Amino acid sequence: MPLAKAPIKEKIILGIDPGTSIMGYGLILISGKKITLLQFGVIHLSKYTGHELKLKKIFERVTSIIEEFQPDEMALEAPFFGKNVQSMLKLGRAQGVAMSAALAREIPITEYAPKKIKQSVTGNGNASKEQVAAMLKTLLKIETLPKLLDGTDALAVALCHHFQGGSQQSGNKSWKSFISDNPGRVK
């Protein structure tokens, strides 16, 4: 009797490139060693007045993406240190709201530094947005690149997460697993 092959594990990764004017998102499906592009794009936020309304729209849109695609993991680009404290605060809030949408559904989250993402995808931590997009065009067989590269940046985050071994190997866990692993640390 022949041995049965183990079923191929599939995983959907949602990548997010946080922003307060434009937020990029990208979804890839990992099936064995095959990587398939599901969708990528941008969430336009500059048309909304008031930071609170932008945060609400980020939460609503990321939640709808999660509901539609049911990702297994989320990866985000960590904000880099900037000179404008107000801009950094707003960017951190945008990232936090996107994370909240995933945490509400117990989706594990991992953050990556911009240089780590570029290094992982192109082999060069100082690659330009255009170089990252060109590499993704080849790797994911994207026919036409969009004008705004925030969506391809988000795809790069998802791909970096896959190349880094995903959340299980990076040590990030859901809050639920943290609580079960550490009952004495939670009150």
pLDDT at 85 (0 to 100): 81
Domain positions in the chain are 10-180
Known catalytic residues? 17, 77, 150
Tokens at 146, concatenated? 């969009």
| Whole-number pLDDT of residue 157 | 97
Judge whether 157 and 137 are in contact, CB under 8 Å: no
How buried is 97 (Cβ within 10 angstroms: 0-12 exposed, 13-18 middle, 19+ buried)?
A: buried
Residue 137 confidence (pLDDT) above 70:
yes
Give pLDDT tens digits for 98-115: 999 999 999 999 999 999
Calpha distance 55→42 (Å, rounded): 15
For 141-158, write each residue's pLDDT tens digit: 998 888 889 999 999 999
**pLDDT given for residue 144 in this prediction:** 87
Residue 6 confidence (pLDDT) = 64
- Which residue blocks in the chain are alpha helix, DSSP H? 51-69, 85-103, 114-122, 129-139, 150-163, 166-170, 175-181
Cα angle: 110, vertex 111, 114; to 5 degrees: 145
Q: Which residues contribute to the annotated binding site for Mg(2+)?
A: 17, 77, 150
Exposed, middle or buried: residue 139 (CB in 10 Å: 0-12, 13-18, 19+)?
middle
Nearest to 139 by CA among 109, 159, 118, 115: 159
Tell whether the model's pLDDT for residue 131 goes beyond 50.
yes
pLDDT score, position 5: 65
Rounded CA-CA distance 15/76 in Å is 6
Residue 136, burial from CB neighbour count under 10 angstroms (0-12, 13-18, 19+): buried
pLDDT tens string 33-60: 899 999 999 999 999 988 899 999 999 9
Looking at the DSSP assignment, which residues form a beta bridge with residue 110?
75
CATH number for the region 10-180 comes to 3.30.420.10
